[in-house]
Structure 1
Amino acid sequence: MEGLEAAARKGNVGGRPSVMDDDKLAVARARYAKGESVTAIAKGLGIHRATLYRHLAESA
């Protein structure tokens, strides 16, 4: 635990990096606003539908 706390103080964050960056999210939002299906958007961006749903919900 001390090692994790020391890493956190240095600014290191554990876990897997997100596949969604700000550019991908902006594209996904625009396509979703035009009425495109979540499945089609996810395939086009190369991500899973659940990932897209999660990020769209977080940004709303």
Structure 2
Amino acid sequence: MLVGYARVSTLDQNPKLQTDALKIAGCEKIFIDKISGTVSDRPELKKLKEHLRKGDTLVVWTLDRLGRSLNDLLNWMAELETLEVSFKSLHERIDTCTPTGKLVFHLFGSLSEFERSSI
């Protein structure tokens, strides 16, 4: 099952652009937060995590909707891998269902680890 996640930073913003793209991508269920990405406790993201099952794919419009830092994204990727859930970002065209998509995320992880060890 394709499960979408959309987020806007304020209550005044409209997530329609994101939700339309997620629907076109085939998402059967979409979770929407209206909260800053810097807030770690996002209610709909928490519900989404509880909803995900082995074989599902989490779909976002852009990477920054899920995490505001590389570290956040890498933590999510590790969590999804543990759950055996794939990940797609529509804007960046990243898809961990494919070997190339997995490689991209492993490269991100390697760069992040290098950065941490260099500091």
TM-score range, shorter chain: 0.3 to 0.5
Ranked by relative contact order (alpha carbons within 8 Å, sequence separation 6 or more), the top structure is 1
More helix by share: 1
TM-score (normalised: structure 2):
0.20
More strand by share: 2
Specify the structure having the higher radius of gyration (Cα): 1
